[in-house]
């Protein structure tokens, strides 16, 4: 096992950016940048034991700085959409940046994904790790409270664990996630539609044309959103009710707040499989529909629509504006805690 820290580059304002590369006893590697907490690389073995990178992204810091698609980034303060870029909390009204039409998306243009985090190497009982810290000032992107955040990546024997923590000096809202795009074939110039997906969720959040929740939670039975039993991502994508592929929040049937399965994905050609575990109440499944065609990616590969998929474990979408949804508010003296675990297997 090892941890390597290297200088990856420098931002235009002179801020240095480092890259941590974690290696476990089986040879798996994960690379994490202090810029955006970006997971730039994660290797996993196929059924023949061949290790390959299963994440999408870019080769240089400059490309990540220019990236509008959140490849591999930490997302916050609030992941996904906040309707009309505003919310009320404890009788006070807050306006956020409008960066998705009239709505707010993924913490705004200056969210966690565009910040340089402090990083340090950490040896844990479960494997090598990197601890990232960032202090989000009061009113950053419109959010109240000074938020002290940490994100711990640990490369375990068979995967990668991410532990979020945050505290605030004034009431605020927090709903973080990791926005990695995966392709278990390790050939993202080919699409991911043949991956077999299972999500233990019999319900999804109904959304409008802007992907803003209506407040209703609907059953997936007899719809293209039914992944209660394994089905390929592409098997019913053309029959999707809104015709836009998948970018929907699945409400897990197991409502416990302990770490539990949220999804399983298997790629039959390579034999690679991945389990996603979370402490969150659900997961956003995105099938990569809006990745632009002929997008230059890592290693001279060219990406396009469906080159990769995302499984973003998080709280309910637009929870600050939906009184019937579980809250994502954080009060003074409380601690936000969330864990996401990616476990790999072969068959």
DSSP string, 255-274: --SSSEEEEEEEETTTTEEE
Contacts of 258 (CB under 8 A, 6+ apart): 279
Predicted TM-score (pTM) of the model is 0.97
CB 283 within 8 A of CB 312: yes
Nearest to 87 by CA among 99, 95, 79: 95
How far is residue 47's CA from residue 264's CA, in Å, rounded to a whole number?
Answer: 17
Residue 155 predicted with pLDDT over 90: yes
Q: What value does the mean pLDDT of the chain take? A: 97
CB 264 within 8 A of CB 197: yes
Q: Considering 106, 113, 179, 306, which one is annotated as catalytic?
A: 179
Q: What is the pLDDT of residue 239?
A: 80
How far is residue 280's CA from residue 79's CA, in Å, rounded to a whole number?
Answer: 12
Contacts of 279 (CB under 8 A, 6+ apart): 257, 258, 259, 260, 337, 338, 339
Indicate the pLDDT class of residue 1, thresholds 50, 70 and 90: confident
Active site residue 179: yes
How far is residue 117's CA from residue 112's CA, in Å, rounded to a whole number?
Answer: 9
Residue 244 predicted with pLDDT over 80: no
DSSP assignment of 134-194 equals EEE-TTGGG--S-EEEEEEEEE-SSEEEEEEEEEESS-EE-B-EEE--B-TTS-TTS-STT
Sequence-ordered alpha helix ranges (H) in the chain: 61-65
Q: What is the pLDDT of residue 170?
A: 98
Q: Considering 97, 140, 267, 312, which one is annotated as catalytic?
A: 312
Q: What is the pLDDT of residue 240?
A: 75
Domains of the chain plus CATH, in order, are: 2-189+285-346 (2.70.98.10)
Q: Which residue has tokens 């969210």? A: 111
Q: What is the pLDDT of residue 247?
A: 96
The first and second tokens of residue 90, run together, are: 């404890």
Q: What is the pLDDT of residue 242?
A: 61
Residue 243 predicted with pLDDT over 90: no
Q: What is the pLDDT of residue 189?
A: 86
Q: Which residues share a beta bridge with 20?
A: 5, 32
pLDDT in tens, 11-44: 999 999 999 999 999 999 999 999 999 999 999 9
Exposed, middle or buried by CB within 10 Å (0-12, 13-18, 19+), for 276? Answer: buried
Active site residue 312: yes
Residue 190 predicted with pLDDT over 90: no
């Amino acid at each position: 096992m090892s941890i390597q820290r290297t200088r990856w580059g420098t931002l235009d304002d002179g801020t240095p950016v480092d890259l941590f590369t974690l290696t476990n006893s089986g040879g798996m590697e994960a690379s994490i940048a202090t810029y955006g907490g970006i997971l730039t690389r994660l290797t996993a073995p196929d059924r023949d034991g061949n290790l390959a990178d299963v994440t999408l992204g870019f080769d240089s810091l400059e490309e990540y700085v220019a990236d509008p698609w959140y490849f591999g980034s930490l997302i916050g303060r609030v992941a996904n959409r906040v309707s009309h870029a505003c919310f009320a909390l404890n009788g006070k009204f807050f306006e956020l940046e409008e960066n998705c039409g009239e709505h707010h998306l993924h913490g705004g243009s200056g969210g966690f994904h565009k910040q340089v985090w402090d990083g340090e190497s950490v040896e844990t009982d479960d494997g090598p790790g990197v601890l990232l810290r960032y202090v989000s000032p009061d009113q950053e992107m419109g959010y109240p409270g000074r938020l002290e955040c940490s994100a711990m990546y640990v490369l375990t024997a068979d995967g990668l664990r991410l532990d979020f923590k945050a505290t605030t000096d004034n009431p605020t809202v927090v709903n973080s996630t990791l926005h990695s795009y995966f392709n278990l074939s390790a050939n993202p110039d080919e699409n991911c539609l043949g991956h077999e997906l299972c999500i233990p969720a019999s319900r999804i959040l109904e959304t409008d044309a802007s992907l803003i929740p209506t407040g209703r939670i609907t059953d997936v039975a007899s719809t293209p959103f039914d992944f209660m039993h394994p089905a390929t991502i592409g098997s019913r994508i053309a029959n999707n009710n809104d015709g836009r592929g998948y970018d929907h929040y699945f409400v897990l049937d197991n409502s416990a707040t302990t770490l539990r399965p949220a999804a399983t994905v298997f790629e039959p050609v390579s034999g690679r499989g991945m389990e996603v575990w979370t402490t969150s109440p659900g997961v956003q499944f995105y099938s990569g529909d809006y990745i632009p065609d002929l997008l230059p990616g890592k290693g001279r590969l060219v990406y396009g629509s469906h080159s990769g998929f995302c499984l973003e474990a998080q709280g309910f979408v637009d929870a600050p504006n939906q009184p019937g949804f579980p809250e994502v508010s954080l009060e003074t003296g409380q601690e936000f805690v969330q864990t996401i675990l990616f476990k790999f297997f072969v068959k």
